[in-house]
């Protein structure tokens, strides 16, 4: 495993990262909400990349893992700035993006921001626009009132501690939506998802597939797999699709 390093983003946030390899394109792992770069999928991909000397980058968004800041202060736009800064400062040349859950949304934002640098994209249980279509759409009237009045609301998580959802997260999310306007992905794209995912619906995956335009876009649903998508079969599917794109 490579050593953790840090850089300061243009916004003044200290971002932790791991970088390795010398053969392009650079595979960039984009983690999920409240996840960090030490997760199973990120580390597995790094090990695969190191075995072939593939350029690889994983990092923590601000307010996540070892990077500076508090989670509750961040939003989708901040984390997009972090991702854009990471690939701008730490990589050069073509990129293959691998985005998990919220990281899938972040990958789509990068593809929209720097399309000429993207050689391919793999998402895992991608959750584009979830702040609007999942959180806000499913909030009760009481939760919406609490959010507007106090600026935050607590949501339970199947992974342990509660999520603090802030008004800033919801409001900023509306400026980052990717499913409301045409989105051209002019490179190979693979959307991977567990069919038994209780966090991101299969309908969301199909909606994303139908929304984007491109010449080589496929959706793979694997029966019996959940949102974690981290067992041996799932990790193998991630690697094989990244290899196919490269």
> Which residue from 216, 53, 46, 13 is spatially nearest to 120, judged by alpha carbons?
216
Percentage of the chain modeled with pLDDT above 90? 94
pLDDT interval class at 56 (50, 70, 90)? very high
Radius of gyration of the chain (CA): 17
Residue 91 has pLDDT above 80, yes or no: yes
Look at the block and give the residue holding tokens 């996540």.
64
Listed range (77-86, 114-123, 151-160, 206-215) with the worst mean pLDDT: 151-160
Is-contact 168 135, C-beta < 8 A?
Answer: no
* pLDDT at position 155: 83
**Under 8 Å between Cβ of 8 and 57:** no
pLDDT for res 188: 98
How confident is the model at residue 50, as a pLDDT? Answer: 97
CA angle 20, 26, 28 (to 5 degrees): 85
For residue 3, what pLDDT band results from cuts at 50, 70 and 90?
confident
In CATH, 5-129+178-245 is 1.10.2020.10: no
Sign, CA dihedral 223-226-228-231, equals negative
What DSSP character marks residue 245? Answer: H
Give the pLDDT band (50/70/90) at residue 1.
low
Pairing between β-strand 152-157 and β-strand 160-166 as defined by DSSP bridges? antiparallel
Instruction: State yes or no: pLDDT of 157 exceeds 80.
Output: no
Whether 23 has a pLDDT exceeding 90, the answer reads yes
Task: Give the per-residue pLDDT at 225.
Answer: 96
| Token pair of 141 as six digits | 């009237």
Model confidence band, residue 144 (pLDDT cutoffs 50, 70, 90): very high
Q: Rounded to 5 degrees, what are φ and ψ at 221?
A: -105, 125
Burial track 156-181 (b if 16+ CB lie within 10 A, e otherwise): eeeeeeebebbbbbbebbeebbbbee
Structure confidence at residue 156 as a pLDDT band (50, 70, 90):
confident
Strand duo 54-59 + 118-124: pairing: unpaired
Q: Kindly report the CA angle at 104 between 6 and 22, in degrees rounded to 5?
A: 45
3-state secondary structure of 52: coil
Query: How confident is residue 2, by pLDDT bands cut at 50, 70 and 90?
Result: low
- For 31, which DSSP code? -
Q: Using the predicted structure, report yes or no on whether residue 160 has a pLDDT greater than 70.
A: no
Contact 195, 202 (CB under 8 A): yes
- Output the average pLDDT for the chain: 96
Confidence (pTM): 0.96
Is the predicted pLDDT of residue 118 greater than 90, yes or no? Answer: yes
Work out the pLDDT band at 181, boundaries 50, 70, 90: very high
**What does the domain layout of the chain look like in residue ranges?**
5-129+178-245
> Which two structure tokens, joined as six digits, stand for 242?
């990244």
């Amino acid at each position: 495993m490579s050593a953790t390093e840090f850089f300061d983003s243009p916004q003044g946030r200290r971002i932790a990262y791991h970088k390795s390899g010398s053969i392009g394109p650079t595979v960039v792992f984009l983690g999920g909400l409240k996840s960090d770069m030490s997760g199973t999928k990120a580390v597995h991909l790094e090990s695969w990349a190191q075995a072939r000397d593939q350029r690889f980058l994983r990092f923590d968004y601000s307010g996540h893992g070892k990077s500076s800041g508090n989670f509750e202060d961040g939003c989708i736009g901040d984390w997009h700035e972090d991702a854009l800064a990471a690939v701008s400062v730490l990589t050069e040349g073509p990129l293959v993006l691998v985005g998990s859950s919220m990281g899938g949304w972040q990958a789509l934002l990068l593809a929209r921001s720097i399309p000429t640098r993207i050689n391919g994209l793999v998402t895992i249980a991608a959750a584009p626009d979830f702040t609007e279509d999942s959180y806000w759409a499913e909030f009760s009237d009481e939760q919406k009132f609490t959010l507007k009045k106090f600026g935050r609301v607590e949501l339970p998580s199947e992974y342990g501690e509660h999520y603090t959802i802030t008004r800033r997260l919801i409001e900023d999310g509306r400026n980052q939506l990717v499913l409301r306007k045409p989105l051209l992905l002019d490179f190979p794209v693979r959307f991977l998802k567990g069919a038994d995912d209780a966090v991101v619906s299969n309908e969301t995956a199909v909606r994303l597939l139908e929304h984007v335009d491109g010449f080589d876009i496929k959706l793979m649903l694997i029966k019996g797999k959940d949102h974690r998508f981290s067992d041996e079969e799932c990790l193998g599917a991630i690697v094989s699709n990244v290899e196919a794109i490269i």
